[in-house]
A and B are shown apart, each in its own frame.
Chain A
Amino acid sequence: MMIRQSRHWRSYMCATVAALSLLAASAHAQTSNEPADKAGPAAQDASGQSGAGKPALLDIPLEDLLTLESTSVAKKRQEVRDAAAAVTVITQDDIRRSAANSIPDLLRMAPGVEVGNLVNGKQAVAIRGFNSRASDSLLVMIDGRSIYVSTLSGVFWELLSLPLSDIERIEIIRGPGAALWGANAVNGVINIITKHSADTLGTQIAAHAGTRAQNAALSFGDRIGEDLTYRIHGTYDRDRGLVDGNGDNFTDASRSFSAGMRVDWQPTTKDAISVAAEANDVRIRRPVLRINENPLDLRMVQDTSVNDNRSANIVARWVREQSDRFDWSLQFAFDHINYQEIGDTRLHWTQGDLDMGLHWRPNDTHDFNFGFGARVIHDDLTSTPSLSLDPESATERWVSSYVQDDISLVPNRLRLTLGAKLEHNSFTGVEFQPNARLFYRPDPAFAVWASVSRAARTPSRYERGGTLDVAILAPNTQNNPSPLPQRFRLIGSANRPSAIVKAFEAGLRWDFVPGWTMDLAAYRNKYDRLPTPITAAVVPIMVPGVPFPVAIQVDSLLAGRAKASTRGGEFSLTGKIAPWWQLALSWSHFKYSIPNDPATGQPYRLIVGLNGSPRDQLKIRTGIDLPGEVSVNGSLRRVSALGVANIPAYTEVDLKVTHQPMAGLDLSLIGQNLIHKRHLEFSEFGYPAPLSYVPRSVAAEVRYRF
C-alpha cells in the first residue's frame, strides 16, 4: 500500500532538490485574485487549471506548503530553478537520510563543496578554492547571522552544535554573493536555516553511539499562546576524533555541551518576531606540533593540547509586511567567542551586527532589495610565542548599504539583476562590490544564466598585525634545501589592502525528462592583491660557543600583491529512478594558475593556497525506501589528490539504514568512511598539526519524537 501510494508522490517529491520556492507565493497571488465564496473559479485556481505556467496550491509539495511563510516572507525566495546563480539546497529530508553527524560532514553532499578534516575539531571547508583552516573566501551564516571570524579568518566549525533535526535547510551558493552579503562572500555563501519553533512542538530526542563519537540531543517545543511558540535544545557530544598513521588515537576524546532556544512571536499577520540564542562549551583535545626550543636541536615535536572554548550568541529579527508591495526586516545579532587556537593562544572575539533589509516592488518590472548594515567587532588575543597580534586588542567598524534591482525584461523569460554593495570598514576603507546577472528561460524546462561580479576579501587582523612562529623547516627538504634547519616566521603588515576577485559565471538547468534535472555551472575567477609572503630578513641563528650558525631564521612579511586565477565547473544530476528510489550525482572540477612574481621569477606564494583544493570531486547519493518503513541511504565520494602534503586521492562510502518500527521512532545503523580503515583528507602548510587520518566508523542511532 505504501509503495502504491508513494507513486502519487512523484509529482511533488521530485521537488526535494528545489525546496526553495516561491511557488507558495505564486499560489497566493493566484488565489488571492478570487473571492473566497466563488467556489467555481476558486476551484480552478486552486487546482492549477487556470492555464498558469506555475503550479497552484494543490500542486505544491507539502514541504513547501509548510514553509509558505518563510517563503513568502522574503517573497524573494524562489525555486532553485529560477536562480541566476549556482545554488544547492540541502533539505531536512537530505539531512535525515545522511550518515553525517555534523554540519561540515553534511556539506560534503553538496556539489563543489570541499570539506577536509585537518586535526581533531578543525575542519577546512571551502567552495571553488582557497581551502584552509582559515578559509577566507566563504561566508557562513546561521539564520542570517555571520559566523565568519574576521580576526583569524575562517569559521570555527567545532563551535556549531545545533541539533541537525532542528535545521530546516542549508542553502549553498557557489560564486560571489558579495553584492548582497558584503566582504568575504568571495567564492560562496552558506546559510544554515533553522526551523520555526512552531514546526517542532513536542519533544525530540536523538542518541548516537558509535565507535568514534557519541552524542545526544534533546529538543522541546511548545506553544505559549496562539501567536507565540518556543523551542529549547541541549546537546552533548563526545568525539575521539582523528587517528595517527597506525590507527591510534592521538588524545582522549573531545567533548562539548550546548544549550539554545528560539522564540517566535507573530502578533499580527503582518509582523513576525523571532529571537534565537545559543551557548556552548567545547573542549577539544588535539595533537599539536611545537617548536623544540633547544637551539642545537631545532625541530618540530609532537605534543597534545587541550583547548577550552566557549561561545554564546543571540539573534533577534523583526519582519514586517507593510503592504503587498513593500516589506522590511530588522535584525540584530550579537556573538561572543572565547577560543583557543594555535599555540594555545586565547582569543576573545565579540561581534555586534545590525541590519535592515527592505524589499519594494513598485511595479511589475522592477523589484528592489536594498538595505543598510553596521557591524562592530572587538577582539582581544592573548599573545603567545607561536601567535601574536599587534595590537593585542582592537575594535573595528563596518557600515554598508546595498541595492539590487531585479528587472523583468520579458515577463517569465528574461530577467536582469543589477546590484551593488558599498561597504566601509575602519581598516581598508571603502569596498565597492557590484554584480550583474542575466537569466533566460526560453522553455519551461530549460534555463540559462550568466553573471559577472566583483567581490572583496578583507584581510584578517592576523594578516594585518599578526606574527606566526610555528614552523621549523627540516634541512635538505623541498621547502628548505639548505643544510640547516630554517625557522620560518610570518609577519602581517599593517596596510594590507583587500584581495579582489572578478568572477565570471554561467550556467544552465535542464529538466530533460520529467522528474530529472541537470544543472551545470562554469566559472572563471581572477584574483588580485592576494596575500603573499615576501622574505624580509634572513638571519643566522648563533649559539654561544658554537662557531657556525645552527639554523637560519627567515622572516617573511605579508604583502597583498599576488595574483591567481581559477576556473572550473560543477555538474549535477538529480532525479528519481522510481518513486521510491532517488539519486543525486555531481561532479566538480577545479583548476588554477598562479603567475610569476616579477620580483622572484617564481610563481607567487600564497598564504591560503590553492593547492588545498581537489581538482575533481565526484559525489553520488542515493536513497531507497523499502516496504516495511525501511530506508537505505548511501553516498559515495571520490576526491582527487591535493597538492599539499601529498594528500592522496580517496574514495569513501557512507551508509545509513533506517527502520521505523512505530510512528515517530527512527532506528538507524550508520557507517561512515567504510572503504578504508583510515584516510587522509587535508593538511596545511603553517598549521602546526601532525597528519591526521579520518577513521572508519560505525554507529547506531535512535531518534524519537513525541
Chain B
Amino acid sequence: MKRTVDHLRASLVTAIAAVALAGTGSALAVDDSARLKAALIFNVLRFVDFTNASASGHLRLCLPRGVEGRPALAALDGKSLGNRSIEVRTTEPGSTEGCDAIYLGSADGGQVRQVRRDGLLIIGDGPAFIGAGGMIGLVRMGNQVRFEVNNRAARQSSITISSKLLRLAARIEQ
C-alpha cells in the first residue's frame, strides 16, 4: 500500500507541467489492460438499461469458455449495480442462455451474429468489433483502453445505452 500511496504523491503544479510537456506514458502490462477492460465493462453495465433483463436481482455477464481476460472479468462477480449485482457465468461458445450481457473478446461478425438476440448486450474487443455488429467495442491504443458504441445494434436488440455513456464513447455508430 505504501508503494501505491507514494506513487500518488505529487504536486499538482508538477503534475500539470508533466501533462503539458509530456503527453502519455505509463506502460500498463497486459494484465493491467485486462483489468482496465473489466473496469470499463463494469461502468458500461452501470449505464445500460436492460429493459428486458431478468427480475432476479442479478445481471448476468457471460464469458464464453476460453475467452481472453477471464480472471479480471471474473472479479466482477458479485459487484453491486445499485439494486442488482453482477453474476459472472461461464457459457459454452455460442450459447447465451440466461445472459444479459456477453463478452466475446476479439470476435468476428460470424460469432457476433451467432449470439445476437433481443435484450443481450454484446461486448467485445478491437476497432472492428462494432462494425461487425457488436454493441460495445473495447479498443486499446498505447496504454489506454477506450470504448466504442454501435447504438443501432443496441437499439435493434432493445438495449438502451445512456446518453452519458454515449458522450464518453470514442466513437458512436448511429
Contacts and interface: CB of A to CB of B under 8 A. Distances in A.
B25 A412 contact: no
A58 B79 contact: yes
Interface in A189-238: 189, 191, 193, 196, 198-202, 223, 226-227, 229
A364 B3 contact: yes
A319 B143 CA distance: 13
B49 A54 contact: no
Interface string B140-174: 01111111100100000000011111111011111
A20 interface: yes
A407 B125 CA distance: 41
Contacts of B166: 663-664, 705
A641 interface: no
A546 interface: no
B47 A364 contact: no
Contact of B19 (A7, A83, A193, A408): A193
Given A202-B172, A227-B141, A663-B161, A369 B82 contact: no
A30 to B, nearest CB: 5
Contacts of B115: none
B4 interface: yes
Nearest to A84: B11
A248 interface: no
A411 B21 contact: no
A384 interface: no
A664 B172 contact: yes
A30 B71 contact: no
A426 interface: no
B22 interface: yes
A47 interface: yes
Interface string A342-357: 0000000000000111
B170 A200 contact: yes
A226 B12 contact: no
A7 B82 contact: yes
B35 interface: yes
B132 interface: no
B58 to A, nearest CB: 16
Nearest to B166: A663
A406 B5 CA distance: 13
The secondary structure that dominates the A interface is mixed
A53 B1 CA distance: 9
B43 A173 contact: no
A25 B5 CA distance: 10
B72 A223 contact: no
Contact of A412 (B8, B47, B71, B174): B8
Interface string A83-99: 11101000000001000
A583 interface: no
Given A26-B7, A82-B9, A706-B172, A1 B49 contact: yes
Contacts of B43: 62, 65
Q: Which of A4, A70, A179 has the most CB of B within 10 A?
A: A70
Interface string B18-59: 111111111111111011101110110011010000000000
A369 B6 contact: no
A31 B35 contact: yes
Interface stretch (A33-41, A109-117, A253-261, A668-676): A33-41
Interface stretch (A71-79, A483-491, A643-651): A71-79
Given A4-B82, A36-B71, A266-B142, A327 B25 contact: yes
Contacts of B142: 69, 227, 266, 269, 271-272
Contacts of A67: 144
Across the A-B interface, give the 10 residue pairs with the lowest CB-CB distance, nearest first: A144-B20, A83-B12, A36-B31, A74-B18, A72-B26, A266-B142, A43-B75, A272-B24, A357-B21, A329-B22
30 contacts: A25-B7, A26-B8, A28-B32, A34-B31, A46-B38, A50-B1, A54-B8, A67-B144, A69-B142, A70-B24, A74-B18, A87-B12, A141-B20, A143-B20, A199-B146, A201-B170, A227-B142, A269-B28, A272-B25, A317-B21, A317-B23, A318-B23, A320-B25, A329-B22, A331-B21, A359-B18, A404-B14, A406-B9, A406-B11, A706-B172
Interface of A: 1-2, 4-5, 7-9, 20, 22, 25-39, 42-43, 46-47, 50-54, 57-58, 60, 62-63, 65-70, 72-78, 80, 82-85, 87, 96, 141, 143-144, 171, 173, 177, 179-181, 189, 191, 193, 196, 198-202, 223, 226-227, 229, 264, 266, 269-272, 274, 317-321, 324, 327-329, 331, 355-357, 359, 364-365, 367, 369, 371, 404, 406, 408, 411-412, 415, 417, 419, 437, 439, 629, 660, 663-664, 705-706
Interface of B: 1-32, 34-36, 38-40, 42-43, 46-47, 49, 71-72, 74-77, 79, 81-83, 127, 139, 141-148, 151, 161-168, 170-174
Given A66-B168, A70-B23, A76-B10, 20 more contacts: A2-B162, A8-B46, A22-B15, A25-B7, A25-B26, A28-B32, A34-B31, A39-B71, A42-B72, A46-B38, A46-B39, A74-B15, A83-B12, A173-B16, A189-B16, A199-B170, A324-B26, A327-B25, A357-B17, A406-B9
